[in-house]
A and B are shown apart, each in its own frame.
Chain A
Amino acid sequence: MPASFDISAALHLQVQSLRSPRATLAQALDIALPAGAVHTIMGPSGSGKSSLLAAVCGTLAPALQFQGTVHVLGRRVDGLPTRARRIALLYQDDLLFAHMTVRENLLFALAAGPQAAREAQVAQALEEVELAGFAHADPATLSGGQRARAALARALLAQPQALMLDEPFAKLDVALRQRMRALVFDAVARRGIAAIVVTHDPADIADPARVTHLSAP
């Protein structure tokens, strides 16, 4: 177990090892991120990139073994259940709940409270991602870019202290990907949350100094 962690880091991930039943996927990693920074993890398929994110979020498959620590704003969270970690997740599939409107999807991410305040928060979040007119829309009727933005708004409404992005732009076309990337990185910087992006696309690298390459097991 690592002896110390970077108290100034918004997110500090220390990995001793991440093992599948057949191989060691990652080991001896130390990623410390200040608030608003974006770290990129790259590597070939099967190298354990997504599993690393799952370990940070606490959604690792039982067959995989993670040894290490995760600190968020100085608080150790790797022993906590996912919902208590305050780390939001964005997948390449938006995973908007199909039976809910866009507004209801966003409301789902908000803590209980006065309804008027919650509605106002949702309206503001939709405004931020340029979806103001789509509050009552069926998610299935939105375009890929609109769905991605709705998913981002939902993730940010939960007021996470860190954001994990698992190939979030992979399904978007080049132009849309660029706009979405800018939107995400801007939101991360403005809110001062640490983010880790798993990607195959070098264009997704926000800061060339913050890149980890995982190798095939």
Chain B
Amino acid sequence: MFEHVGVVARVKSVSITEHGDYGNRRVSQQQVLVGQSLFSHRPVFVDIFLPITSLTTACALLLQHPQFAQALSLSLWSGMAATLLALGVSAFILSTGLGLRTDHSHSRLLPAMLALPHVAFALGCMLLLAPSGWLVRLLFAALHPWAEAIPFALDAPPPWQSTQDPYALGLVLVLVCKEIPFLLWGAWAQLQRPDLAQAWQAQMRVATTLGYSAQSAWWCVVWPQLLPRMAGPLLAVWAYSLSVVDVAWIIGPGAPPTLAVLAWQWLQDADPAIGAQGLAAVLCLLLCTVLVAGLAFILYRMDLRWWAPARWTRGSRSITESVLTMGRLRQLSARFKWREKVALALSADRAGPCRIHTGIHHDASGLVAALLVAYALVAAALVWGSVAGAWPFPALWPQSWTLQAWQQVLGSSGVLGTTLWLGLASAGAAFLVALAILEGLPARWHAAWFSAAYLVLALPALLWALGLQRVCIALGWDASAWGLWLAHSLSVWPYVLLSLQGPYAALDPRGAQLAASLGRSRWAYGWQVQWPMLRAPLAAAFAVGFAVSVAQFLPTLFVGGGRFATVTTEAVALSSGGQRSLLAAYALLQWLLPACVFALALGLGRKRRFAPPRMAPGLA
């Protein structure tokens, strides 16, 4: 069971290493098996339509639970911090000129980042950041010359918790890194719409002629128009961050864990009362999602009312000054007299030319580079981890290399096969459903479907999985391949539909009218014009669907009833064990499979190359 590893892996809140205790309790093989069994046995069925009396009792039990308040606080803190940080960083990246650039070559990196499932990223971070992880080894190697001045030994993992930390910092870090590409993707779907892009570029030009710097113009003109359009992705990020189970289990705090993990553990309990308590916790998460989202909406609207009239009369003032002079902040700044100082310090964008296309004034390239480096490091850690043999601490490189884990992974054809057929079948079904909605329904109904898709994304993952399980039981498809396909397809379609939202909105409706005026049928227009023009986004949407299916954890477990294993369920199950190389191999595979499909999609969507004209131009 245990191979010789130096990585600290966790069984609930317990850490293990090969070499000594290092301040963490060493666990037995039996304990690891208990941890793994949480992810492999058939989940207990808890009906989401509990009688109201049982639910009341469950709520009372939940409120009295000693870990409830702390777990809820951790969930709220990590969810809000991840959402706000991801939003802030994404907005900053967009504001520095990347958003409205005419060439979108930088956005080509997004699919590769989106293809990396949260679980794989979390596992990669664990391999990097754990007390015996690669980064700590690097740090210790660098500190070696000053070993005597350091209060702890450098030949053993440090006695701190850099993953599964009690403040959920590791969880927030993973969520922020993973949600930034998602928010950028959501923003670019809007920014790439020709109608919006043209209008916003023109408005920015007008703003710059009025004395705003490029970045101020972006914040004052484009951002207020873009932010409401990102409400859906933001809601999805908030709901996901609040209720994520697998990532929080891998890298989140352990004693207590987040409320979602606690709820997940309760739902596994054979005692119906504890199961009902788990359901109450899930409903509590739903309530928090709705309340915080509602509060944010109200605050946004209030702020807009305060701020909007003032925003357009700021002249050449920077956004920093605008923010500092708005509403209540104005009173505070007057009281503490820090307004001028902070404004002076931060409003560097007052001077300088207004360059709309290339005007990166506050340079975000460092931030983008840091994000790319984080992804590259995670990928490297997974590759490294999957082929590393014995690797005692604090050695920087493994003592031996082995392909044993890969042989084992490739030998488990059932897992690979299930992942592939499930991904392809559910992405295919979701793709057809999305096409049917976009092609078959009148355009005025599309908005309702997009809202429905965001609603699905805004549901806590556990509630969604419980609902899917309920539907499959009602259909008699529980623990069957059909049920699993249905569950994955239903989980995948919102992503596929939303990924096609931007490209379809960008289509000029006059193209269809023109084709009709030329006597061509709707089908001919679709087949010869529309779909070839949308080839790239259509292929990308399918790849997104495949990636989402591969990453599904809770629906696979709940609906599959433990009978179906995918690379994701295997990776999560292994995260509570000590088989580092096998864990890394599964996590890497979890990335490689969607990455291959994304690469195929990129190839399929490649822009056509035309031959140069064979004659000199005639009339200009």
Contact = CB atoms under 8 A, between A and B. Distances in A.
A176 B618 CA distance: 13
A82 interface: yes
B518 A155 contact: yes
Interface in B592-620: 608, 610-620
B617 A89 contact: no
Given A59-B516, A134-B615, A95 B610 contact: no
A194 to B, nearest CB: 14
B520 A83 contact: yes
Interface stretch (B201-209, B333-341, B528-536): B528-536
A95 B511 contact: yes
Interface in A15-63: 54, 57-59, 62
Given A89-B514, A130-B618, A97 B533 contact: yes
Nearest to A104: B528
Given A108-B529, A134-B613, A136-B613, A176 B620 contact: yes
A146 B620 CA distance: 6
A101 B612 CA distance: 11
Interface stretch (A68-76, A113-121, A137-145, A203-211): A137-145
Contacts of B535: 99
Interface in A180-213: none
A83 B615 contact: no
Contact of B516 (A81, A100, A145, A149): A81
A87 B612 CA distance: 33
Contacts of A86: 519
B281 to A, nearest CB: 47
Q: How large is the interface on B (under 10, 10 to 19, 20 to 34, 35 or more residues)?
A: 20 to 34
A87 B618 CA distance: 29
B508 interface: yes
Instruction: Kindly name the residue among B518, B608, B612, B614 whose own CB sees the greatest number of chain A CB atoms within 10 A.
Output: B518
B99 to A, nearest CB: 23
A136 B610 CA distance: 7
B513 interface: yes
A158 interface: yes
Given A146-B619, A149-B619, A83 B613 contact: no
B610 A101 contact: yes
B399 interface: no
A83 B517 contact: yes
Contacts of B511: 95, 97
Contacts of B510: 59, 91, 93, 95
A88 B511 CA distance: 12
A136 B529 contact: no
Contacts of B616: 133
Nearest to B524: A108
A182 to B, nearest CB: 12
B107 interface: no
A99 B608 contact: yes
Contacts of B617: 133-134, 143, 146
Contacts of B513: 54, 57, 59, 82, 89
B611 A136 contact: yes
Interface in B486-521: 508, 510-511, 513-521
Contacts of B517: 57, 59, 82-83, 85, 87-89, 155, 158, 160, 164
Contacts of A84: 519
A98 B508 contact: no
Contact of B619 (A99, A111, A130, A155): A130
Contacts of A122: none
A164 B529 CA distance: 22
Given A97-B529, A101-B610, A83 B519 contact: yes
Contacts of B620: 143, 145-146, 176
A12 B68 CA distance: 77
Contact of A109 (B444, B518, B521): B518
A89 B519 CA distance: 11
A154 B511 CA distance: 13
B613 A137 contact: yes
A141 to B, nearest CB: 7
A111 B524 CA distance: 11
Contacts of B610: 101, 136-138, 141
B528 A108 contact: yes
Contacts of B508: 93, 95
Interface of B: 444, 508, 510-511, 513-521, 528-529, 532-533, 535, 608, 610-620
23 contacts: A59-B513, A82-B517, A83-B520, A85-B517, A91-B510, A95-B508, A95-B510, A97-B533, A101-B610, A108-B529, A109-B519, A109-B520, A132-B615, A133-B615, A133-B617, A134-B613, A134-B617, A136-B610, A137-B610, A137-B611, A145-B620, A154-B518, A158-B518
Given A99-B529, A99-B532, 11 more contacts: A59-B510, A82-B513, A88-B517, A95-B510, A97-B533, A108-B520, A136-B610, A137-B610, A137-B612, A141-B613, A176-B620
The 5 A-B pairs with the shortest beta carbon distances in the complex, nearest first, are A133-B615, A138-B610, A82-B516, A59-B513, A89-B517
Interface of A: 54, 57-59, 62, 81-89, 91, 93, 95, 97-101, 108-109, 111, 130-134, 136-138, 141, 143, 145-146, 149, 154-155, 158, 160, 164, 176, 179
